[in-house]
Amino acid sequence: MMLVRINMRTALAALCIAVLLIIVFWSRCGEFSHRPIVSVLSNGLSERVADTSGTGGQEIECVINGEYSVACRRDRDQVYLPFSFIHKYFEVYGKITSTDGVDRFEWSHSYSKIYHPKKKYDPRGTFTTFENYNVEVRERVKCISGIEGVPVSTQWEPRGFYYPTQIAQFGLAHYSKNVTEPEPRVRIIDDGDKVLENWIVSKDATISREYDQEMKSKVLKFSTSDHVSSQVWLKVNISQDFVLSLDVRFKPNSSMTVVLQNKDKKETVYLHYVTSNQLIYAQEDHIYHGIGTEVKWRRITRDLIIDMQKGWALQDRPKRKSPRNKFRVSRSLPWYEEYPTTPPLFVLNGFIYTLLGLYDLHVIEGENSISLAKKMFDDGMTSLKTLLPLFDTGSGSFYDLRHFTLGVSPNLARWDYHATHVNQAITENNGSIEL
């Protein structure tokens, strides 16, 4: 048994519906890849090789640093490595695109872009250019927790953990989008009172609309048996805005299933939201997201396409190893560390984000005030102007200064982090941040 209530006054999503089973159709599935790009490209390479004739496409073993092997292809003097290996080894990105019926492979060093601020930075507006961020689609995001509603990172732990930096980026990105984007399109399916739908109810199931004292409104009350065929469901034709938002109160062993169908490709995906503390698991076309076991009213807001993609990626996701770092203290200049350990690494992007936070705090306190935030910002800017040249590689940037503090090999910033450094510098300079 479960109780459901829709509250549209605080709805943040574009689709609001309380269901036991919903069928949703999407017509733009060509925009959504249902396998990670590394798998798609690897399969594409195999298919092309299978079509080659003559001397091309001979299989050959590639030995990587004498440690392990990957299957490659040889065409005379050329050896072709699968992009799935190159993607993971060099952390580069790529995808197959089609223009006028012609397939092309687009290669890029980073999924990040350089954004120029449209106006002077304002602490009361968007956070830098975060309205352009989509944290949830990143490969290092395992899923969006059905319990906490925030991203779960696999950056250093394949099982997933709550990474404060990633969660902050997720929140700031959605806040910035809320500031810049128009009001979402909202479609009320059933609110239990004024907007009503004709639900399909199996013989051993029931549905009723009752007033709930706690929610102070009418709710939909569902009851089913233990049989799989016992269902209460509704068919809805939706071709855009795949976001689901509802208030729900699950009893133990309850679940809600959303069925996504693509008529053109005859594909069906089942998204199950279950009373479980397990974050996510998947088996073929059935993807399960745990929403906790506590019996209480809660607001659930889910991006159905993201939930689908994370389930597909989970089945093909490669294993990751956790890096080990050592640190040493340097006290010549104040530096606000993203990772406050001993000794520090002088992580650049975390330090600049701290300066932005200090700037925001000082402006909110009053720009004419003399505060600790202003002093820390001024001291930090002095450190940044002094040490920033040490991060310049000539063609990119260093993620930190471990080669100075530890005397080890430099930690070159991935291209997405280098793009972050550039965006931060543009905000600091062209964004006219001054105190």
Per-residue pLDDT, averaged over 13-39, amounts to 37
Packing angle of the helix pair 348-365, 372-387 (nearest 10 deg): 150
Residue entry with tokens 């004739």: 53
The strand pairing partners of 151, in sequence order, are 144
Band (pLDDT 50/70/90 cuts) for residue 408 is confident
Helix axes 37-51, 83-90, angle to 10 degrees: 150
Each residue's pLDDT tens digit, 251-277:
888 888 898 887 777 788 999 999 999
Residue where the block lists tokens 């640190």: 327
Which residue reads 């200049």 in tokens?
333
Fill in the amino acid letter for 280. I
The amino acid sitting at 345 is L
Cβ atoms of residues 301 and 14 within 8 Å: no
- Residue 367: pLDDT band with limits 50, 70, 90: low
User: Residue range 158-185: average pLDDT?
Assistant: 92
Tokens of 73: 């292809």
pTM: 0.58
